[in-house]
Amino acid sequence: MSDSISLKRVKKLRGKIVPPPDKSISHRAVMLASIADGKSIVRNFLRAEDTMSTLNSFRKLGVKIEENRGQGKNTKLTIYGKGIHGLKEPASVIDCGNSGTTARLMSGILAGNPFFSALTGDDSLRQRPMARVINPLKEMGAEISARNADKYLPMKIKGGHLKAINYKMPVASAQVKSCLILAGLYAKGTTAITEPQKSRDHTERMLKAMGANIEVKGLNIRVQGLGNKKLNPVDITIPSDFSSAAFFIAGALIVPDSEILIKNVGMNPTRTGFLKVIKEMGAYIKIENIRDVSGEPVADIHCRATGNLKAAKISGDIMPSLIDEFPILCVLATQAEGVTKIKGAEELRVKESDRIQAMAEGLRKMGAEVKEFKDGLSIKGNAKLKGASIDSYKDHRIAMAFSIAALIASGKTIINGISSVNISFPGFFEMLKKLSR
Ligand code: S3P
């Protein structure tokens, strides 16, 4: 089967959509419900490749999880939590697929458990840095070894008997932070973590709701080991993923005469740096119907093409809150007046692909002027994009970003490696078609 799609310019995007459920929250819901005591319900779970890697991993650890797929894409999970000490030794290697969140967060839980386990992943995940979790977990007392001097998957873990540490994180990463918070639940004492910049806080919110003793003050997090205490099960409803919505927000802004309503979107402020930037760029965005759903802010986003976007300078503390929106932000930048510069984004080199390189290469092929730096890039705006054959490097967000760029390009754009969209957004192309006029 061909793994590419040919896309052409559209006249406009119009309509109402509900993007798929949040990937980060879906991972965390399965993990935390699995180590809670008793039955949790997770409504609107994201049934995509990444989150299924997490779900299947916890089944391997002995957790019973029922999937009720219901109407449409709305999956309800019933998770029979085993309690913090109830997981069992897996009989075979745990395959995290493409999912960094699965590998890094699970390593924190496995480090707390006194059995043997081994983790691996696909070609991309096996090249992504794991020392960032292995080093602090070893400091807490876990026995871990991994490929290439403890830097890459596969890795093996023999955990248990963790002690709390004070850890100053060298990189802003919600995955590392969450890994250490989870290990902290198993540790004796209070684990203190300081992050260099604020990253997404879904783990902290969910754990608080489950009764864990976790305290967040700015960039400092303190989590107390559970000891004999239990985590309470939850009944949660997951909102749509802001990062998935971002592709259509951008589409609505750059395809002339577009107007769309995106419903039920997670608006956690640690995730919505993209909105701040595009508002500064002059975008028409209205946030409507703001509400709280299961401890996360949710809203509907109304956006409209107005033209007249202006270039932006993006760096510093805002970066973690728009890290996954970098590819689509680059596409937007090609249509803004002036030169957009993104710096301080070296983490993008170690995502599902080297996203700085992948965006620079593809946008140049489409006719944009791009300069690449070690930690970011600059893009000259008001570009007339032309169709090209694009390598997505099998990275879901690269494939989706160029699919949006194709909507304003002359001629045909071929996106290669499109099955990767199933990592986070099954149904992406159908949704795009539904909106295209
Ligand atoms: C995620 C955190 C981010 C993000 C990834 C999901 C999470 O990664 O890029 O898509 O769910 O915690 P880092 O924490 O490595 O920056």
Q: Are residues 199 and 285 in the same domain?
A: no
For 182-220, write each residue's pLDDT tens digit.
999 999 999 999 999 999 999 999 999 999 999 999 999
**Environment class of residue 367 by beta-carbon count within 10 Å: exposed (0-12), middle (13-18) or buried (19+)?**
middle
What is the per-residue pLDDT for 296? 98
Question: How much distance in Å is there from the Cα of 101 to the middle of ligand 1?
Answer: 6
Domain end call among 225, 249, 280: 225
* 203 Cβ inside 6 Å of ligand 1: no
pLDDT of residue 71: 66
Does the pLDDT of residue 233 top 70, yes or no? yes
CATH code where residue 40 lies: 3.65.10.10
Ligand 1 atom at shortest distance from the alpha carbon of 174: 14
Do 38 and 15 fall into the same domain?
no
Let me know whether 203 and 112 are in one domain.
yes
Identify the domain containing residue 257 by its residue range: 4-21+239-435
Nearest-angstrom CA–CA distance, 202 and 27: 10
State if residue 155 touches ligand 1 by the CB under 6 angstroms criterion: no
Q: Does 172 reside within a domain?
A: yes
- 140-153 per-position pLDDT tens digit: 999 999 999 999 99
Both 32 and 16 in one domain: the answer is: no
* Residue 234, domain member (yes or no): no
Residue 73 has pLDDT above 80, yes or no: no
Last residue in a domain, options 201, 225, 249: 225
- Tell me whether residue 359 is in a domain: yes
Of 22, 26, 175, the one to substitute when testing ligand 1's pocket (max ligand atoms within 8 A of C-beta) is: 175
Domain count across the chain = 2
Residues 184 and 267 in one domain: no
Q: In whole angstroms, what is the distance from residue 331 CA to residue 436 CA?
A: 18
324 is catalytic: yes
Mean pLDDT across 48-77: 92
Residue 42 has pLDDT above 80, yes or no: yes
Residues 285-334: pLDDT tens digits? 999 999 999 999 999 999 999 989 999 999 999 999 999 999 999 999 99
Query: Which pLDDT score, from 0 to 100, does residue 2 have?
Result: 87
Decide if 343 is inside a domain.
yes
CA proximity to 47, closest of 184, 199, 241: 241
Whether 45 has a pLDDT exceeding 90, the answer reads: yes
Q: What angle do CA 98, 6, 253 make, to 5 degrees?
A: 80
- What is the mean pLDDT of the segment spanning 70-98? 93
For the Cβ of 169 lying below 6 angstroms from any atom of ligand 1, the answer is no
Q: Ligand 1, residue 173: give the atom nearest the CA.
A: 14
Find the mean pLDDT for residues 412-418. 98
- The whole-model pTM stands at 0.98
Kindly state if the Cβ of 182 falls inside 6 Å of ligand 1.
no
Determine if ligand 1 sits within 6 Å of the CB of residue 102: no
Query: Are both 272 and 298 inside the same structural domain?
Result: yes
Listed in sequence order, the residues at least 6 apart from 415 whose beta carbon sits closer than 8 Å to its beta carbon are: 4, 5, 7, 390, 392, 399, 402, 403, 406
Measured distance CA(298)–CA(308) in Å, rounded: 28
In the predicted structure, residue 406 carries a pLDDT above the cut 90: yes
Whether the bond between 297 and the residue before it is cis, its omega within 30 degrees of 0, is no
Is the CB of residue 185 below 6 angstroms from any atom belonging to ligand 1? no
CA–CA distance, 254 with 272 (Å, rounded to integer) = 19
On whether both 16 and 41 belong to a single domain, the answer is no
Residue with CA nearest ligand 1 atom 10 = 324
Quick check: CB of 200 below 6 Å from ligand 1?
A: yes
297 and 431 fall within a common domain: yes
Give domain status of residue 319, yes or no: yes
Report which ligand 1 atom has the smallest distance to the Cα of 24. 11
Does residue 340 sit within a domain?
Answer: yes
Q: Tell me what pLDDT residue 135 has.
A: 98
Please check whether residues 258 and 202 belong to one and the same domain.
no
Distance 129 CA to ligand 1 centre (A): 13
Domain contains 344: yes
Residues 6+ apart with CB under 8 A from 175: 100, 101, 104, 105, 133
Query: Same domain, yes or no, for 195 and 243?
Result: no
Q: Would the pLDDT of 72 be above 90?
A: no
| pLDDT at res. 70 | 73
Pocket test for ligand 1, best of 49, 176, 200, 296 (most atoms within 8 A of CB): 200
Residues linked to residue 60 through DSSP beta bridges, in sequence order: none
Q: Are residues 15 and 67 in the same domain?
A: no
Atom of ligand 1 nearest to the CA of 177: 14
Residue 231 lies in a domain: no
Catalytic residue among 50, 300, 324, 395: 324
Interhelix angle for 131-139 vs 100-111, to 10°? 10
Is 173's C-beta closer than 6 angstroms to any atom of ligand 1?
yes
For 187-338, where are the alpha helices, taking DSSP H only? 202-209, 242-254, 273-280, 326-333
301 CB neighbour count, 10 Å cutoff: 26
Is 90 strand, coil or helix? coil
Residue 28 CA: nearest ligand 1 atom is 11
Question: Which strands, in side-by-side order, build the sheet including 313-314?
Answer: 313-314, 339-342, 376-380, 370-373
Q: What pLDDT does 290 receive?
A: 98
- Say yes or no: CB of residue 324 within 6 Å of ligand 1: yes
| Residue 25 pLDDT > 90 | yes
- Band of the pLDDT at 74, cuts 50, 70, 90? confident
Whether residues 30 and 16 fall in one domain: no
Listed residues 225, 258, 284: the one ending a domain: 225
Q: Please give the pLDDT value at position 336.
A: 98
